[in-house]
Amino acid sequence: MLLIPAIDLQDGRCVRLRQGDLNDATIFSENPATIAEQWLDQGARRLHLVDLNGAVAGKPKNAAAIKAIVDTVAEEIPVQIGGGIRDLDTIEHYLDNGISYVIIGTAAVKDPGFLRDACSAFPGNIIVGLDARDGKVATDGWSKLTRHDVIDLARKFEDYGVESIIYTDIGRDGMLSGVNIEATVRLAQSVNIPIIASGGVTDLRDIEALCAVEHEGVEGAILGRSIYEGTLDFAAAQERADQLSAS
């Protein structure tokens, strides 16, 4: 089970949001690269970056902070990034500058042709982020709930060739309310590519619950508020996940 610390970037700082609300942000650091190094030192095997300003603007907005993080850790572990990725040039720029995986969210839902082109141009480097509430996909920073069924879209995007899917239960993200295991497993069972769980991870019990369904295709989890507020010790969580995966 791959546990992936999240670094959400807003105005060059590391923050965490509650349920995606840009007006409900907690600042955790003025220096995100220091945070990235901290997670690397604690045994992280991948980092998850979100350009929150970029997600709103539709183009990258935290270039200096992103570069500092990549310069700090990318030679040792992969870095994935999402937020405001709307064209192939942006993807190419990121991949040329040390990012390993690019996450496409809203644009994948609104412009499937773009996603198909991205998977064709950059095979193995494209991850889709699907954010859902009650099985329906949300877009535009979760402000718009679509009629798209998350499983139907996941199957379509798998056919396009995406590397994996990050599934976020938006009712739980940033709320420390536990992972929606049932919905995550249901999605994992419907496709043959890895599912990375996101949203609601609170403590070691959530990690153990995710490890118990790893065989269903739930291969990772993104950790946010829990590791910043201390309800979950990252190093201990990855160690426990490795124990369970080996058993």
Residues 6+ apart with CB under 8 A from 112: 156, 157, 160
Q: Which of the following is catalytic: 51, 131, 169, 206?
A: 131
Q: Is 134 a catalytic residue?
A: no
Q: Which of the following is catalytic: 8, 51, 173, 206?
A: 8
CB 189 within 8 A of CB 151: no
Whole-angstrom distance, CA of residue 19 vs CA of residue 195: 20
Whole-angstrom distance, CA of residue 173 vs CA of residue 194: 20
Single-letter code of the amino acid located at 11: D
Q: State how far the alpha carbon of 215 is from the alpha carbons of 12, 185, 244, in Å.
A: 38, 10, 11
Q: Is 8 a catalytic residue?
A: yes
Whole-angstrom distance, CA of residue 25 vs CA of residue 228: 13
The tokens describing 241, both together, are 């996940």
Q: Which residues are identified as catalytic?
A: 8, 131
